[in-house]
């Protein structure tokens, strides 16, 4: 009979594995599993700090993950995550991408190719191959509405 793994231990295992591949340069940026509350995520911070020291990576506490057509909005909007990265410039590129989306939304231009490019640029940060990312976007049944208003007003 298989031993039951508790949720905390499972999440720690994922964090360890993601940091190993971030440290090895296989992924530029990795995301923790979404947490329903900041308190739930906070329980993972000490472990994240230890693992980042072990692998020479860094983490960033994210309260408002970039939403795009890459993932269903329900998977990320209103969730709390931890981002893992090796190179500080990747975190800066992520922040710039969030700002670029905000600007597009403010101008009413978050549509068409600009919207698609936001998702593809996020996929690049996550080290997804372009064809795989295009497939994810195509299959995503939980995309933002065309205005993206709820997600565009985040600060």
Q: Tell me: the pLDDT tens digits for 101-120?
A: 999 999 999 999 999 999 99
Residue 2 lies in a domain: no
Residue 53 lies in a domain: yes
Strand, helix or coil for residue 74:
helix
Sign of the alpha-carbon torsion through 98, 11, 89, 25: negative
Q: From CA 33, how far away is CA 54, in angstroms rounded?
A: 20
Residue 1 lies in a domain: no
Residue 148 lies in a domain: yes
- In the sheet that 29-31 helps form, which strands lie side by side, from edge to edge? 29-31, 81-85, 58-62
**What is the rounded radius of gyration, in angstroms, for the C-alpha atoms of the chain?**
16
pLDDT in tens, 45-91: 999 999 999 999 999 999 999 999 998 888 888 899 999 999 999 99
Residue 146 lies in a domain: yes
Residue 15 lies in a domain: yes
CA 6 to chain centre: 23
Total domain count for the chain?
A: 1
For 16, the domain range is: 7-152
What is the structure's pLDDT at 72?
84
* pLDDT band, residue 154 (cuts 50/70/90): very low
Closest CA to 59 of 89, 91, 27, 33: 91
What is the structure's pLDDT at 147?
52
């Amino acid at each position: 009979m298989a031993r039951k793994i508790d949720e905390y231990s499972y999440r720690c295992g994922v964090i360890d594995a993601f940091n190993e591949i971030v440290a090895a340069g296989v992924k530029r940026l990795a995301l923790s599993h979404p947490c329903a509350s900041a308190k739930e995520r906070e329980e993972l911070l000490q472990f994240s700090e230890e693992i980042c020291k072990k692998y020479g990576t860094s983490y960033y506490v994210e309260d408002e993950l970039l939403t795009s057509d890459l993932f269903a909005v329900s998977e990320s909007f209103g969730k709390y995550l931890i981002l893992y990265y090796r190179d500080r410039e990747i975190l800066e590129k992520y922040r710039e991408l969030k700002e670029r989306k905000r600007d597009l939304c403010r101008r009413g231009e978050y549509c068409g190719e600009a919207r698609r490019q936001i998702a593809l640029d996020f996929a690049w940060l996550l080290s997804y191959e372009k064809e795989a990312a295009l497939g994810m976007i195509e299959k995503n049944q939980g995309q933002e509405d065309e205005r993206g208003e709820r997600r565009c007003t985040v600060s």
